[in-house]
């Protein structure tokens, strides 16, 4: 397929780099400042070098991307809440022109699911969003394999930053501030880690899952999630857990009681008690019972792998 | 007794606040061949009818349990509940957060006042340093395994800054 990528952060750049090996041609890339367009296919190395050198992917107007002859738009701009702009407008333009869309951006699926479905209904284009939940882990594909009505619940560790901090505090009895600083040095936590440690990121992913699994067409948004973060859990709590043979992890849940993200006590041998930045999802499937999917939930190349898997699925 | 021959049971009693009541409850248990594992008895925790709840964990061969219960009743002790499956409903819940030390009274009161659970243990874990926070560990028997209801009731009684950390399911503890 011919791919247009909007957003040249770590995910967008990784899609650009991986696409040729996966048999797809990138015809346009845009960041906030400009665009690079070539209907015959861009030279990934050249575009990446240009971005590195000048801070933008190309000299053309960013808008020029939408005039390029693309089949599928990859939306990889930073996730925004509420109106989910400018991502929603990008999707609107692509679907308005009957093109397909693959999302890495969580905003539209979490905050404007009903509006998104309305756009899809009016368009010949299709939308996929595997990359929005648990990075490379094929949660959406597994749900689709059985059918959303067969999946009665989901629980999991969906944020690697929070999990890294909790598992380090549990293992070494270190203070929160110490482990957070360690995480920031390793690039596992941002300078402003609130999105991750307050549980917002995990909640967005759970809201997306709730929208997909909802069988009465109920639509969820971030505001519907009950969220408790990890920034107020002291070492005394980790020690108390350890003495009881348990451990604390930030768990996102989607089920009968809605969407909930919060720190929970797990047995130390519970499969959900992953360590480091790993993610894991437990699906409850009607006849198959509990099923675990684990792997890397974040990172440019990892998320891009999921984007390209979606492009492959559209390429029928 | 060999492990394979015994079963663990929990008996919930309500004792009158009179001397000798606890002994009157425990003697028949021992006489009937029950092996006491733990007793949670807190005189400060009075039921609406002015009685003192006591939770006894014991071990005995399954066939000895019904006559044991009868003996305790015959000694005039009020048994609220007796059975083997209660232990499976024991959960540990942590209450933590910056305000734990300051709000300890409120936490203790909420933990004792629950209608949706029976409190069988409480522990306060002191913070590791001057800036750090404490953690309260509650051990509860939760009927019907309704952790969601317990959490909701706890959250209503506790200060907003309290962080409740409970297991995913009752069987996890």
Q: What is the pLDDT of residue B159?
A: 87
Q: What is the mean pLDDT of chain B?
A: 82
Q: List b or e across A241-269, with b for residues whose CB sees 16 or more CB atoms inside 10 angstroms.
A: beebebbbbbbbbbbeeebbbbbbbbbee
User: What totals of helices (H) and strands (E) does chain A contain, helices first?
Assistant: 12, 12
- Position B145 confidence tier, pLDDT thresholds 50, 70, 90: confident
Q: What is the pLDDT of residue A250?
A: 98
pLDDT digits (tens, 9 = 90+) for A223-248: 999 999 999 999 999 999 999 999 99
H helical segments located in A216-273: 235-243
- Can you say whether the dihedral through the CA atoms of A34, A40, A43, A46 is positive or negative? negative
Q: What percent of chain A is modeled with pLDDT above 90?
A: 97
CB pair distance less than 8 Å for A246 and B128:
no
Q: What is the pLDDT of residue B173?
A: 39
Residues of B in contact with A271 (CB under 8 A): none
B137 touches chain A (CB under 8 A): yes
Backbone angles phi, psi at B62, to 5 degrees: -55, -35
Residue positions counted in chain B:
173
Distance of CA B69 to the CA centre of its chain: 19
Query: For the packed helices B21-31 and B65-74, what is the interaxial angle rounded to 10 degrees?
Result: 150
Instruction: Assess contact for B29 and B68: CB atoms under 8 A.
Output: yes
Q: What is the pLDDT of residue B109?
A: 87
**What's the gap in Å between the CA of B133 and the closest CA on chain A?**
6
- Averaged pLDDT, B155-165: 91
Q: What is the mean pLDDT of chain A?
A: 96
Q: What is the pLDDT of residue B116?
A: 78
pLDDT beyond 60 at A130: yes
A267 touches chain B (CB under 8 A): yes
**What's the gap in Å between the CA of B135 and the closest CA on chain A?**
5
CB pair distance less than 8 Å for A265 and B172:
yes
Tokens matching residue A75: 């939306």
Instruction: Assess contact for A98 and A123: CB atoms under 8 A.
Output: yes
Residues 46-105 of B with CB under 8 A from A: 92-94, 96-98
Q: How many CB atoms lie within 10 A of CB B19?
A: 8
Q: What is the pLDDT of residue B85?
A: 56
Nearest CA in chain A to B122: A240
Residues 212-251 of A with CB under 8 A from B: 228, 232-237, 239-241, 244, 246, 248, 251
pLDDT beyond 60 at B155: yes
Highest-confidence segment of A135-144, B48-57, B128-137: A135-144
CB pair distance less than 8 Å for B125 and A246:
no
CB pair distance less than 8 Å for B96 and A234:
yes
Least-confidence region, from A10-14, A116-120, B110-114 = B110-114
pTM assigned to the model: 0.84
Q: What percent of chain A is modeled with pLDDT above 70?
A: 100
Q: What is the pLDDT of residue A208?
A: 98
B152 touches chain A (CB under 8 A): no
Tell me, yes or no, if A51 is annotated catalytic.
Answer: no
CA-wise closest residue to B34 among B61, B13, B52: B61
Tokens matching residue A18: 């991986």
CB pair distance less than 8 Å for A264 and B137:
no
CA distance A311 to A273: 32
pLDDT digits (tens, 9 = 90+) for B51-99: 888 888 888 888 888 888 888 888 888 887 787 755 446 789 999 998 8
B159 touches chain A (CB under 8 A): no
Question: Choosing among A179, A240, A241, A257, which should be mutated to test the B contact, i.e. which has the most B CBs within 10 A?
Answer: A240
CB pair distance less than 8 Å for A264 and B165:
yes
pLDDT digits (tens, 9 = 90+) for A78-115: 999 999 999 999 999 999 999 999 999 999 999 999 99
CB pair distance less than 8 Å for A234 and B93:
no
Tokens matching residue A9: 């952060």
CB pair distance less than 8 Å for B135 and A240:
yes
**What's the gap in Å between the CA of B162 and the closest CA on chain A?**
9
If DSSP codes are grouped into helix, strand and coil, which group holds residue B44?
coil
Tokens 């024991």 sit on residue: B90
- Averaged pLDDT, A121-144: 97
For chains A and B, count residue pairs whose Cβ atoms are closer than 8 Å.
89
Nearest CA in chain A to B125: A236
CA distance A122 to B92: 52
Half-sphere exposure for B18 (CA within 13 Å, toward CB): 8
DSSP A224: G
- Averaged pLDDT, A144-167: 97
Q: Closest CB to B94: pick one of A228, A257, A265.
A: A265
Highest-confidence segment of A186-200, B62-76, B143-157: A186-200
Instruction: Assess contact for A120 and A95: CB atoms under 8 A.
Output: yes
């Amino acid at each position: 397929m011919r791919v247009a990528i909007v957003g040249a952060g770590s995910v967008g750049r990784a899609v650009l780099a991986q696409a040729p090996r996966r048999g797809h041609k990138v015809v346009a890339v845009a960041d906030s400042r400009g665009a690079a367009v070539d209907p015959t296919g861009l030279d990934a190395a050249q575009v990446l070098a240009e971005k590195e050198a000048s801070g933008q992917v190309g000299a053309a107007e960013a808008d020029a991307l939408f005039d390029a002859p693309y089949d599928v738009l990859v939306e990889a701009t930073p996730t925004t809440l509420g109106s989910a702009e400018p991502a929603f407008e990008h999707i609107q333009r692509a679907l308005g022109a009957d093109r397909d869309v693959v999302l890495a951006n969580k905003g539209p699926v979490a905050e404007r699911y009903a509006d998104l479905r309305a756009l899809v209904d009016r368009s010949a284009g299709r939308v996929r969003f595997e990359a929005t939940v648990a990075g490379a882990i094929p949660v959406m594909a597994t749900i689709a394999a059985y059918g959303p009505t067969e999946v009665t619940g989901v629980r999991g560790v969906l944020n690697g930053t929070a999990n890294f901090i909790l598992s380090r505090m549990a293992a070494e009895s270190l203070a929160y501030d110490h482990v957070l600083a360690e995480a920031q040095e390793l690039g596992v936590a941002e300078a402003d880690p609130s999105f991750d440690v307050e549980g917002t990121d995990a909640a967005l992913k759970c809201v997306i899952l709730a929208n997909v699994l909802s069988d009465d067409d109920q639509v969820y948004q971030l505001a519907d999630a009950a969220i408790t973060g990890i920034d107020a859990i002291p070492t005394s709590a980790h020690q108390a857990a350890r003495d009881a043979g348990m451990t604390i992890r930030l768990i996102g849940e989607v089920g009968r009681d809605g969407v909930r993200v919060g720190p929970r006590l797990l047995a130390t041998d519970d499969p959900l008690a992953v360590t480091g930045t790993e993610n894991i999802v437990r699906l409850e499937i009607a006849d198959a019972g509990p099923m675990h999917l684990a792997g890397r939930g974040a990172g440019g190349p990892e998320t891009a792998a999921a984007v390209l898997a979606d492009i492959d699925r559209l390429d029928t | 007794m060999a492990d394979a021959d015994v079963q663990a049971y929990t008996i919930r009693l309500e004792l009158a606040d009179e001397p000798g009541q606890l002994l009157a409850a425990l003697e028949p248990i021992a006489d009937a061949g029950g092996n006491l594992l733990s007793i949670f008895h807190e005189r400060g925790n009075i039921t609406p009818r002015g009685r003192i709840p006591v939770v006894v964990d014991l071990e005995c061969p399954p066939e000895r349990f019904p006559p044991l219960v009868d003996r305790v009743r015959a000694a005039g002790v009020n048994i609220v509940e007796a059975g083997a499956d209660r232990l499976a409903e024991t959960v540990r819940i942590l209450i933590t957060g910056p305000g734990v030390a300051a709000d300890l009274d409120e936490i203790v009161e909420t933990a004792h006042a629950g209608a949706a659970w029976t409190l069988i243990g409480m522990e306060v874990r002191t913070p590791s340093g001057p800036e750090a926070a404490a953690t309260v560990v509650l051990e509860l028997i939760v009927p019907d395994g309704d952790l969601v209801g317990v959490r909701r009731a706890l959250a209503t009684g506790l200060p907003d800054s309290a962080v409740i950390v409970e297991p995913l399911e009752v069987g996890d503890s």
